[in-house]
Structure 1
């Protein structure tokens, strides 16, 4: 626009002072500017882009292939077109990187009228997460460099990478309560809803234990015998507040917590019991841009900033997967754990207060923690005093097994288990940590 205004100003000056050569030069320049502006707009607007992604779900270490097809649907050839398919920049910048690329996702292309080109590259996912592939950033312009056009084309694909699941040797994190659904081999508790038989009355038996029909039939007092049982199932509470995961241990400790949660959910699923997940983390799906991906921009920086997912969102609600059974429930939890991200929203005490009313009392509460400040220990102690059976799993480095947080939990009467790496997850249901 500044070139056009300058040319018009010089044209007026030439006409006023009757400078024929200057007037002629300005006519030519204005013609070139108008034609260049028209062609630059036509070239970039007539590019049709389609993207194919081999799959939208993957496991850690697997590769996804992406094919981007570009076609010139206009009647003019395109002398140059700079294309770049977007991938998560932060995932590439991390050390070690969360994704690795192989192939061509950036290039300078030329198109004849109706011509077609392709970009083919592969993405290997090294960590669980929710990754956006695309959209495509286009840049073109006239041959003189007077006009540049930037455009974002094609809807992006979102690839979900599941967390690693470690097989756990047995599962013994259960609530030993008088009413439950799993039969025990020892009589620590007896379930009054499960009658196993009748025996003769013994001194000290309560009246509600007497079997009145057997008493009336035999003429002697008889008492009921109950089966021992415990409550089955698990509700996972995953602390994913940013302050609980110091930068020096990231991303290993947060990924260890997610892997632990996924492994426990899988173990309970295989037993046919109920399980659920609640976390104060952020769902990456909340950061997806809703306004679409087809826009034109004045600068490359503006276009590039619009291609990625949002950096922040104002969600302060917990992420909750209600406690249920079945393969679909496991799938929902694995998908949620794949997308969960650290956030500075609700602290763990605020989070437990928010979700306490939604937790079933017939399932053990398993809290997965990285740090245990006094407020967190008190919050779990309050849950225990409210009638919940509570167990804490601490993801601690191997050289930090005397963590002060463990003492705080013990003081609150919360049982503790500890792991330092993924190898130890398989033996998570061994002996509890005794100080």
Structure 2
């Protein structure tokens, strides 16, 4: 009941009670009157503050609501007054999580009834994830500072901090991934002008899609089918096992792996590949990334923003992790048993690529022999392997080395 009293109000109430006890002991009626007044004052302030009508409202706008880790977003607080008189002396505090910085605090001398006021503060997410900003709170008190009540002006707002995406260059050589800048052309190999996919003209089709050779050959109007044939695509595997990674916070090796996976998936999608993203347990995070639909890219980044480390300790594959397609696996600490799980169900003729993280380097230790042993075993099984030596290793450098290894491998295969 008395929780709304401030320290000043509690001290005044305690003083009044003490004065009243002394007045009763000493039989001093004047002191008793003073004590009654001192006791009544904070209680009256408490009652009036609790019953006052508060005519202030607020709404929050985050621009943009989705931002990359380390980038800036602006939070706008639109404060308006709906009461008869202007609200003054407000203290506002927005509940910003620690990963977005400290809690911003504002003191408003006055909030005009018409037009309101806009407060803006920046947030720079230090950690990937789904963050919730809010609630926005203020405190209402009496002029004497004896009582104070907390009021919520706005609830929580969702903000997505996506993993960092770096721009990659080139494509791994050979197979469905193409060779360097000619990858897209190789995907279309065998589907020339004469073999274009066509169908009969339908009402509403764009006349620019008419395939004149097929029209002349069949003596009826034929149009191109824009959908490209399915080439099997690429499966990207993210190893998110907490036991397979090292480091703390934003410098954890799993964050490096997530950033690498995001960069690889978007890079392949921009080059016309159909990409499927799965985790170490075979669970798909997203399907069919790619094409002209930018919403799929956003879905990929949202999925990776929400990824949490898995308690699973070992890699266990009940089926081929690539589902028969080409596979790019970004792996944490990989044991001999894990290598066996990855390779036992993979077809020998299907392209398999692994990016191995020397996770001990994320703790400041040496890379160790485990990474070299895992890389040797994967290469023996026909995999292309690149090792990321530590947190300072650029993703672009790893990708460049991977493209170089596949090109060298294809050249050697042609010479044989």
Give the TM-score taking structure 1 as reference length.
Answer: 0.61
Q: Are 2:262 and 2:304, in contact at CA under 8 Å, matched by a contact in 1? A: yes
Instruction: Find the counterpart in structure 1 of residue 233 from structure 2.
Output: 233
Please tell me whether residue 392 in structure 1 is matched to residue 354 in structure 2. Answer: yes
Match for residue 371 of structure 2 among 405, 421, 425: 405
Judged with a 3 Å threshold, the aligned counterparts in structure 2 of structure 1 residues 345 and 388 are, in CA distance, closer, same or farther, namely: farther
After superposition, residues 4-19 of structure 1 pair within 5 angstroms as 19=28
Match for residue 368 of structure 1 among 307, 310, 330: 330
3-state SS in 1 of match to 2:333: coil
The 2-side partners of 1:37 and 1:113 are apart by 26
3-state SS in 2 of match to 1:40: helix
Report the Cα offset of residue 171 of structure 1: 3.0
The 2-side partners of 1:388 and 1:348 are apart by 24
After superposition, residues 149-164 of structure 1 pair within 5 angstroms as 149-162=149-162, 163-164=164-165
Report the Cα offset of residue 240 of structure 1: 1.9
Report the Cα offset of residue 231 of structure 1: 6.4
Structure 2 gap ranges (5+): 3-9, 178-183, 188-229, 410-416
Please tell me whether residue 430 in structure 1 is matched to residue 404 in structure 2. Answer: yes
3-state SS in 2 of match to 1:258: helix
The 2-side partners of 1:105 and 1:277 are apart by 38
Instruction: Find the counterpart in structure 1 of residue 97 from structure 2.
Output: 88
Report the Cα offset of residue 368 of structure 1: 0.6
The 2-side partners of 1:79 and 1:395 are apart by 57
After superposition, residues 338-377 of structure 1 pair within 5 angstroms as 338-341=305-308, 343-350=309-316, 352-353=317-318, 356=319, 361-377=323-339
Report the Cα offset of residue 247 of structure 1: 1.9
Report the Cα offset of residue 37 of structure 1: 1.3
The 2-side partners of 1:319 and 1:362 are apart by 15
Report the Cα offset of residue 66 of structure 1: 1.9
Q: Are 1:366 and 1:390, in contact at CA under 8 Å, matched by a contact in 2? A: yes
The 2-side partners of 1:37 and 1:280 are apart by 58
Q: Going by fraction, where is strand more abundant, 1 or 2?
A: 1
3-state SS in 2 of match to 1:334: helix
Please tell me whether residue 268 in structure 1 is matched to residue 271 in structure 2. Answer: no
Please tell me whether residue 132 in structure 1 is matched to residue 106 in structure 2. Answer: no
Q: Which has the higher contact order (CA 8 A, sep 6+)?
A: 1
Judged with a 3 Å threshold, the aligned counterparts in structure 2 of structure 1 residues 57 and 112 are, in CA distance, closer, same or farther, namely: closer
Report the Cα offset of residue 25 of structure 1: 2.7
Please tell me whether residue 334 in structure 1 is matched to residue 315 in structure 2. Answer: no
Structure 1 gap ranges (5+): 94-103, 177-181, 186-229, 282-316
After superposition, residues 317-332 of structure 1 pair within 5 angstroms as 320-323=285-288, 325-326=290-291, 327=293, 328-332=295-299
Q: Are 2:111 and 2:117, in contact at CA under 8 Å, matched by a contact in 1? A: no
- Write out per-residue CA displacement over residues 93-135 of structure 1, whole angstroms, 9 at most, x where no aligned residue: 8xxxxxxxxxx93123334784844422223456654443333
The 2-side partners of 1:348 and 1:84 are apart by 45
The 2-side partners of 1:44 and 1:387 are apart by 75
The 1-side partners of 2:307 and 2:357 are apart by 17
Report the Cα offset of residue 153 of structure 1: 3.2
Q: Are 2:100 and 2:126, in contact at CA under 8 Å, matched by a contact in 1? A: no
The 2-side partners of 1:258 and 1:409 are apart by 20
Please tell me whether residue 52 in structure 1 is matched to residue 61 in structure 2. Answer: yes
- Write out per-residue CA displacement over residues 329-366 of structure 1, whole angstroms, 9 at most, x where no aligned residue: 4332222223334x25233525x45xx48x66232232
Please tell me whether residue 381 in structure 1 is matched to residue 340 in structure 2. Answer: no
Instruction: Find the counterpart in structure 1 of residue 147 from structure 2.
Output: 147
Judged with a 3 Å threshold, the aligned counterparts in structure 2 of structure 1 residues 387 and 122 are, in CA distance, closer, same or farther, namely: same
Q: Are 2:96 and 2:104, in contact at CA under 8 Å, matched by a contact in 1? A: no
Report the Cα offset of residue 28 of structure 1: 2.3
Instruction: Find the counterpart in structure 2 of residue 418 from structure 1.
Output: 387
Instruction: Find the counterpart in structure 1 of residue 211 from structure 2.
Output: none
The 2-side partners of 1:117 and 1:34 are apart by 34
3-state SS in 1 of match to 2:324: coil
The 1-side partners of 2:118 and 2:148 are apart by 23
Which piece of structure 1 moves more, 271-280 or 166-175? 166-175
